[in-house]
Chains A and B, each alone.
Chain A
Amino acid sequence: MCSVPVPRAPLRRVAVTGGTHGNELSGVYLARHWLRDPGELRRPSFSATPVLANPGAAAACRRYVDHDLNRTFTDTLLASRATPNDPYELTRARELDQLLGPKASGSDRAFDFVLDLHNTTANMGTCLLVDGAHNTFALHLSHHLQLQFPEVPCQVLLTWPPQSARKSFSLDSVAKNGMTVELGPQPQGVLRAAVFSRMRALVASALDFMELFNQGAAFPAFEMEVYRNLGGEDFPRTQDGDLAGMVHPQLQDRDYEPLQPGAPIFQKFSGEEVLYEGDSTVYPVFINEAAYYEKHVAFLRTEKLMISVPPLPPLSPAPTQVL
C-alpha cells in the first residue's frame, strides 16, 4: 500500500515510467520520446523524469527477459542479495528501487509519485489502477482525469481486495505513491496512433493536476464509482494444464459489464459452454489479456461500488521565517 496517501509537501520528484513490459508500446515509445526531449514533462514547480523501465525487454519487444518486472518489486526480492545469476528483471528492479525508491517504508528519499504506463489486449478503454480506497491523492488525480476527458470514459480499478494479506509487487509501489494507467485494446508489439495520443494526453493532464496541487489548490470531497478486484478466473484446462477452451463470444470485449451467475464465460473447443458459477453478479475486467494466460487468469472478477473520497487538503504555505 502506498506510504503517503496525502502529500504534505509539494510533489518535486515525479517519474513517468514506460516499457515496464517491453511489448506494451505506448509507454515504450513515449518514454523513448521523452528521454530525447523531456520538454512536455516540465511544469513550473517540478519536472517529471521519464524512465524506460525494462530496456532489455523493450529492445526485444517482449513482455520480459527472464521474469515479469511488474511482479518483482516485493520487499523480499528487493532486499535479497545480488548474485551473478540473478534474473535480468531482478537486477533491474533493484536499480529502479535505488533510482525511484527505496520502497522500504519510512524512507524519505523515495520519489513522490510514479505513474506507470501500460497497454492491455483487453477491451478496457482507459483504466486507472489505484492500490486501494485509502489512496486519497491517487483517487483525486483519477477524478481529475475523468473530468478532463468527459467524452471518453475512464474507469478506476482498485487493485487490492479488502483486507488483503498480499504485499504489493508492482513498479508503481516503489515510490511514496503511484498508480498505473492501462489503455486497451492494443495488441502486444503494435503502436496504435489513437492509443498513443490518448496516453500522452492523460500524462499531461496528470502532471497538470500535480502542478495545481503544488500551487496550493484544494480539492473537495466527491463520490466515485470504482471496480474492486476480487481475484482471477482461469480458463478451463486439460489435465496437462493446456487450454481446453476460450473466452465465450458473449463475454469477449465486455469488460466492466455485469456478469450474472449462470451466464456463459467459456466455450470449449468441442463447442460445450462453461457457465459462471459465482453466487453474485461481478464485473469482469482484463478479459482475454494475452499476458495473463501464463498467470492462469482469463479475466479478473470485480465488484462495482461507490466510494466516498475525502477532500484533498491544500498544502499549507511554508511558515515565514523570523529573522
Chain B
Amino acid sequence: MTSPHITGKPIKKIAIFGGTHGNELTGVFLVKHWLENDAEIQRTGLEVKPFITNPRAVKKCTRYIDCDLNRVCDLENLGKEMSEDLPYEVKRAQEINHLFGPKNSEDSYDIIFDLHNTTSNMGCTLILEDSRNDFLIQMYHYIKTSLAPLPCYVYLIEHPSLKYTTISSVAKYPVGIEVGPQPQGVLRADILDQMRKMIKHALDFIYQFNEGKEFPPCAIEVYKVVEKVDYPRNESGEITAVIHPNLQDQDWKPLHPGDPMFVTLDGKTILLGGDCTVYPVFVNEAAYYEKKEAFAKTTKLTLNAKSIRSSFH
C-alpha cells in the first residue's frame, strides 16, 4: 500500500531577492552577478528572476531607509493607498507585491528565495513559516542532505505573536535564506560560497520535482521560536549587559537553566532562569538591538512531510 502523498502543480515562476536589507551583502552581490550572468540559476522549464528589492538601501549600504522592508508585507501595509508620504519601504513592498504577487492570489510567484546575512554565528539557515508545508519541508530536507556535512539549520518562525510578515511571503512558497556570521557591510567569500550552494541545491530540487521525481516521506529537525529575549536595560532604555562570552557564537547549542546568559558592564553574570533547556538563535545580531532582541529562544522538534510528486507525471 503506498503512503499518502501530495501531488502539486509543477513550479513555474521563481524569484531570488537580494538586498532586502541593503547592508547584507551576500544577497546583493549574488543577485547583481546573476543579473549580468544567470547561467548558474537557470533550469529547463523554470523562470528564475533575480531581483534587488531595496535599491536605495543597497546604494547607501544601510539596512533600510525608513523602515524594515522585511516587516511591512502584511495586508494592511500592502493595501494602503499609494501616496508620496508612505515610508519608502512600504511603497517598495507594494511595488514588489504588484510584480511578484498579489499575495494570496493564484497569479503570485510560486517561490521567492530571500537572501540574508546575520552577524550571529548561525551558519547556513533556512527560515520556515508553516510547519505543515510538505513541499517546503521536502525542499529543506533535500538542501540539508545535499549540503552535509556542512550543517544547515531550519528556523521555524510560526508563532501566534512572534511571526513576522516577510517579503518572500508575497509568493506561494516563501523561503528565507540566512547565512552568518558576516558583519554588515562586509562580503566574505566563504559565506557567499555557502549561500550559492544553498540556492543551487534548492533549484536542483525544484527541477527534479518538475521532472516527476517522487520524494518519499521525510523528517527534519527544526528549531521553533518560543520567545525573544531583550538585553537588560536601565530606565533610559540603554543596554546594561551584553551577551555572556559563554553564549556568544553558540547559536543552536543547548542553553540550560543556570547557564550564563548576559554579563553586565560591571562584570556580573546573569543566568538563564526557568526550567527548560532552550536553543538560542540570532545571538547578538546587530540589527536586532533596536528590535530589543538579544537572542531568540527555540525548542527543537521534528517535522514530518508526506511524499510529494508533481501532478504532471
Q: How far is the CA of A121 from the CA of B183 in the complex (A)?
A: 7
A248–B189 CA distance with the chains assembled, in angstroms: 6
Per-position binary interface string of chain A over residues 242-266, scored 1 when its CB falls under 8 Å from any chain B CB and 0 otherwise: 1100111100100000000000000
* Interface residue? B263 (CB, 8 A): yes
Task: Say yes or no: is B243 at the interface (Cβ < 8 Å to chain A).
Answer: yes
Decide: B119 and A290 in contact? CB cutoff 8 A: no
Q: With the chains together, A188 CA to B290 CA distance in Å?
A: 14
Q: Closest approach, in angstroms, between the C-beta of A178 and any C-beta of chain B?
A: 25
| CB <8 Å contact, B188 and A187 | no
Contact B189 A267 (CB under 8 A): yes
- Contact flag A270-B183 (CB < 8 Å), given A33-B265, A192-B284: no
Assess whether B183 is in contact with A290, with CB atoms less than 8 Å apart. yes
Report whether B119 and A252 are in contact in the complex, using a CB–CB cutoff of 8 Å.
no
CB of B275 within 8 Å of the partner chain: no
Q: Could you give, for residues 250-284 of chain B, a 1 whenever the CB lies within 8 Å of some chain A CB and a 0 otherwise?
A: 00000000000001010000000000000000001
Which A residues are CB-close (under 8 A) to B61? Answer: 293-294
The contact string, 1 if C-beta is below 8 Å from chain B, for chain A 15-50, is: 000000000000001001100000000000000000
Residues of B within 8 A of A33 (CB): 265
Total count of chain A residues near the partner, CB < 8 A: 33
Q: Is B192 an interface residue (CB 8 A)?
A: yes
One of B29-37, B139-147, B201-209 contacting the partner: B29-37
Q: Is the CB of A290 within 8 A of B188?
A: no
A267 and B290 CA atoms in complex are apart in Å by 34
Q: What B residues does A32 contact at CB under 8 A?
A: 238
Contact digits for B26-44, partner A, Cβ 8 Å, 1 yes 0 no:
0001101100010000000
- A264-291 contact mask (Cβ, 8 Å, vs B): 1 or 0: 0001011000000000000000001111
A246: contacting residue among B62, B189, B243, CB under 8 A: B189
Contact with A along B174-202 (1 / 0, CB 8 A): 00000001111111111011000000000
Identify the closest chain B residue to A269 (Cβ): B33
Interface flag for B287 (CB, 8 Å): yes
Q: Is B87 an interface residue (CB 8 A)?
A: no
Which chain A residue has the least Cβ–Cβ distance from B262?
A193
Chain B, residues 15-28, CB within 8 Å of chain A (1/0): the string is 00000000000000
> What is the minimal beta-carbon distance from B89 to any residue of chain A, in angstroms?
17
Is the Cβ of B245 less than 8 Å from the Cβ of A189? no
- State whether A194 touches B248 (Cβ < 8 A): yes
Q: Are A29 and B188 in contact (CB under 8 A)?
A: no
Q: Say yes or no: is B244 at the interface (Cβ < 8 Å to chain A).
A: yes
With A290-B183, A290-B186 as contacts: A189 and B287 at CB distance below 8 Å: yes
Q: Which of A187, A191, A243 contacts B29 (CB 8 A)?
A: A243
Q: Is A9 an interface residue (CB 8 A)?
A: no
CB neighbours (8 Å) of A181 from chain B are none
Chain A residues in 8 Å Cβ range of B65: none
Whose C-beta in chain A lies nearest to the C-beta of B290? A61
In the complex, what distance in Å separates the CA atom of A249 from the CA atom of B189? Answer: 6
Task: Please indicate which of the listed interface residues B37, B245, B287 has the most CB atoms of chain A within 10 Å of its own CB.
Answer: B245
Question: Across the interface, which residues of A come within 8 angstroms of B37, CB to CB?
Answer: 270
Cβ–Cβ < 8 Å partners of B119 in chain A: 187, 189-190
B6 contacts the other chain (CB 8 A): no
A249 near B245 (CB under 8 angstroms)? no
**B242 lies within 8 A of A246 (CB):** no
The chain A residue with its CB closest to the CB of B62 is A62
Contact (Cβ within 8 A) A192 B242: yes
Q: How far is the CB of B268 from chain A (nearest CB, A)?
A: 12
Could you say which of B32, B183, B192, B242 has the most chain A C-beta atoms within 10 Å of its C-beta?
A: B183
Q: Is B46 an interface residue (CB 8 A)?
A: no
- A196 close to chain B: CB less than 8 A: yes
B286 CB-CB contact with A under 8 Å: yes
In the complex, which of the residues B30, B32, B183 contacts A242, with contact meaning CB atoms closer than 8 Å?
Answer: B32
When chains A and B are docked, how far (Å) is the Cα of A291 from the Cα of B62? 12
Residues in A neighbouring B263, C-beta threshold 8 A = 193
Give a binary string over A220-254; 1 marks a CB under 8 Å from any B CB, 0 the rest.
00000000000000000000001100111100100
Within 8 A of B (CB), among A277-313: 288-291, 293-294
- Contact residues in A for B290 (Cβ distance below 8 Å): 61
Closest to A249 in B: B189
Select which of A187, A243, A247 is within 8 A of B183 by beta carbon.
A187
Shortest distance in angstroms between A215's beta carbon and chain B's nearest beta carbon? 28
Q: Are B186 and A288 in contact (CB under 8 A)?
A: yes
- Tell me if B239 and A191 are in contact (CB < 8 A): yes
The CA of A117 and the CA of B171, in the complex, are separated in Å by 46
* Residues of chain B within 8 A of A252, CB atoms compared: 188-190
Q: List 15 A-B contacts (CB under 8 A).
A: A29-B239, A187-B183, A188-B183, A189-B119, A189-B287, A190-B284, A191-B239, A191-B284, A192-B248, A193-B242, A193-B245, A193-B263, A243-B29, A269-B30, A288-B187
In order of increasing CB-CB distance, the 4 nearest A-B pairs are A187-B183, A189-B286, A290-B185, A269-B33
Q: A32-B238, A288-B187 are in contact. List 4 more A-B contacts (CB 8 A).
A: A187-B119, A190-B183, A190-B284, A246-B29
